[in-house]
Amino acid sequence: MKSAVTEWLIKEGLLGDAEFYSVDQWKARREDYLTDSLLILVIDGSTLHTMLNFGGDHEEFDDLVESFGFYYELGNHWNMGFYAIDEYSFRPSQGSYSEKLRDPRWQRKASRVKALAGHQCQDCGATSRLEAHHCYYTAMREGYEPWEYPLSAFRALCRQCHESRAQIEIRMRSYMATLSQSDMERLREGLDHAFYFYEKGAVLSFLEKLGPHDRHVEQAMMLLRAGLREE
């Protein structure tokens, strides 16, 4: 869970100065709260502190923690302790991947993904035979179960889109092989920034229309300006 939460905080830009402490490390600080917890996260100086203390949306954070069999409680406003959910089985699940997808914990996660998508395919809008698709998997050494991912790692897809998207994602990962780590980070940050100010379709049309001549640039800019979001 520690690795998954850390990666989620980094991805969401919430990490800041957040830091994990073991119970022994926490007790050595002579803190008054959370000494009965299994793990402590100090969130002072992170945006997560603001989210949890001043009414931000922490649904995905709560769901991620729960997916590993834990819940959390705030000690002071600047720290939280993680506790095991009563009667939760931490024994590694056995069997094939398809058998894991029959696990009640996966069924709950998949149902939540579909509900958040409004019970529509997020690629084509269809409403029949929806499935929860993992948009990525962690390294095998992490050993995450299918349900131990943040909600943003999934898309609700119809059967047809689920099958076709897998091939498109392979081509996308193959394209990433042409980019350095720095290139990928810059591309991700650039697209995220552009999508904030402009409609996604306008940004993609802009990129498609760019060419070596001034007329290509002018046409591309017209498409981009038409997609400027209203403030």
Q: What backbone phi and psi angles, to 5 degrees, belong to 178? A: -85, -5
Token reading at 57: 């949306």
Token reading at 70: 């834990």
Once rounded to an integer, what is the mean pLDDT over residues 93-97? 86
CB 43 within 8 A of CB 72: no
pLDDT tens per residue, range 102-153: 999 999 999 999 999 999 999 999 999 999 999 999 876 678 999 999 999 9
- Among 27, 12, 150, 11, CA closest to 81: 27
**Residue owning tokens 């058998």:** 99
Model confidence at 43: pLDDT above 80: yes
CA-CA distance, 231 to 216, in Å (whole number)?
A: 28
Strands of the chain, DSSP E? 19-21, 39-42, 70-74, 79-84, 130-134, 154-158
CA-CA distance, 119 to 157, in Å (whole number)?
A: 9
Averaged confidence pLDDT in the chain: 94
Once rounded to an integer, what is the mean pLDDT over residues 193-213? 96
* pLDDT (0 to 100) of residue 140: 61
Once rounded to an integer, what is the mean pLDDT over residues 186-193? 96
- Among 143, 2, 114, 138, CA closest to 65: 2
Once rounded to an integer, what is the mean pLDDT over residues 187-194? 96
* pLDDT (0 to 100) of residue 139: 74
* pLDDT (0 to 100) of residue 44: 85
Question: How many CA atoms within 13 Å lie on the side-chain side of 35?
Answer: 7
Q: What backbone phi and psi angles, to 5 degrees, belong to 120? A: -130, 150
pLDDT tens per residue, range 158-169: 999 999 999 999
Which of 11-15, 71-75, 184-188 is predicted with the least confidence, judged by mean pLDDT? Answer: 11-15
Q: What angle do the packed helices 200-209 and 181-197 form, to 10 degrees?
A: 120
Model confidence at 183: pLDDT above 90: yes
Which of 21-30, 131-140, 221-230 is predicted with the least confidence, judged by mean pLDDT? Answer: 131-140
Written as one letter, the residue type at 189 is E
- Kindly state the percentage of the chain with pLDDT values over 70: 99
pLDDT tens per residue, range 52-62: 988 889 999 99
